[in-house]
């Protein structure tokens, strides 16, 4: 059985009040819980208390192996209450998230570099192919020109022979 210290929503529409509860992780968010250890009212005004927590009970449950959710851990750090282990764990998780984000960004940058290199290689290959096609077309044109010149040179020599043949 996994026990978590988490928020359970209460209050009314557009005016939430969250209870900080110790609950079995398999229970629904606002469902059955083991113990209520505090509350958080994000929209508290005037003399209303926005945050209250029984730090001794939180330490007791954390000592028993209860996991503190990220949101509750941020609240504990923000209000500077609760066990030191929670603060340490939160900073470690945050550092891990930053490190993973940096690795993901580096991987994306490397992927974009590889895509750019592949595109450049494909462009170079296409340019090489176009140059080869142009050279082949130029050679074909020269060959056709040479054949036409040879045909033109041979045509006047054949023409008088053709004229002599009908006269005979």
- 88 and 76 inside one domain: no
Number of domains in the chain: 2
Computed over every residue of the chain, the mean pLDDT equals 86
Q: Residue 55 sits in a domain of what CATH number? A: 3.30.1320.10
Residue pair 57/39 in contact (Cβ under 8 Å)? The answer is no
pLDDT tens profile 105-150: 898 888 888 888 888 888 888 888 888 888 888 888 888 888 888 8
167 within a domain of the structure (yes/no): no
42 within a domain of the structure (yes/no): yes
72 within a domain of the structure (yes/no): yes
Q: What is the residue range of 74's domain?
A: 3-82
- 35 and 65 inside one domain: yes
- 47 and 72 inside one domain: yes
- 38 and 91 inside one domain: no
77 within a domain of the structure (yes/no): yes
- 131 and 77 inside one domain: no
Of 64, 82, 100, which residue sits at a domain end?
A: 82
Among left, alpha and beta (phi > 0; psi -120 to 50; other), residue 38 is: left
Residue 21: phi and psi, rounded to 5, are -125, 155
Strand, helix or coil for residue 91: helix
Helical ranges in the chain per DSSP H: 55-63, 70-78, 84-167
**Percentage of residues in the chain with pLDDT exceeding 70?**
91
- 46 and 99 inside one domain: no
What pLDDT was estimated at residue 79?
Answer: 87
Residue 87: phi and psi, rounded to 5, are -60, -45
Is the pTM here over 0.85, yes or no?
no
pLDDT tens profile 66-92: 999 989 999 998 888 878 888 888 888
pLDDT tens profile 3-57: 999 999 999 999 999 999 999 999 888 889 999 999 999 998 889 899 999 999 9
- 74 and 87 inside one domain: no
């Amino acid at each position: 059985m996994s026990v978590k210290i988490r928020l359970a929503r209460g209050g009314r529409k557009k005016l939430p009040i969250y209870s900080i509860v110790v609950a079995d992780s398999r229970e629904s968010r606002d469902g059955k819980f083991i113990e209520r250890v505090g509350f958080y009212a994000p929209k508290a005004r005037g003399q209303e208390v926005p945050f209250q927590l029984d730090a001794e009970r939180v330490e007791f449950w954390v000592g028993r192996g209860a996991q503190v959710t990220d949101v509750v851990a941020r609240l504990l750090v923000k209000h500077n209450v609760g066990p030191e282990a929670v603060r340490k764990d939160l900073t470690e998780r945050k550092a891990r998230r930053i490190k993973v984000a940096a690795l993901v960004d580096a991987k994306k940058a490397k992927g974009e570099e590889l895509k750019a290199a592949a595109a450049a290689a494909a462009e170079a290959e296409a340019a090489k192919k176009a140059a080869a096609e142009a050279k082949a077309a130029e050679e074909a044109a020269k060959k056709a020109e040479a054949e036409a010149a040879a045909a033109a040179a041979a045509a006047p020599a054949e023409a008088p022979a053709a004229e002599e043949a009908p006269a005979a």
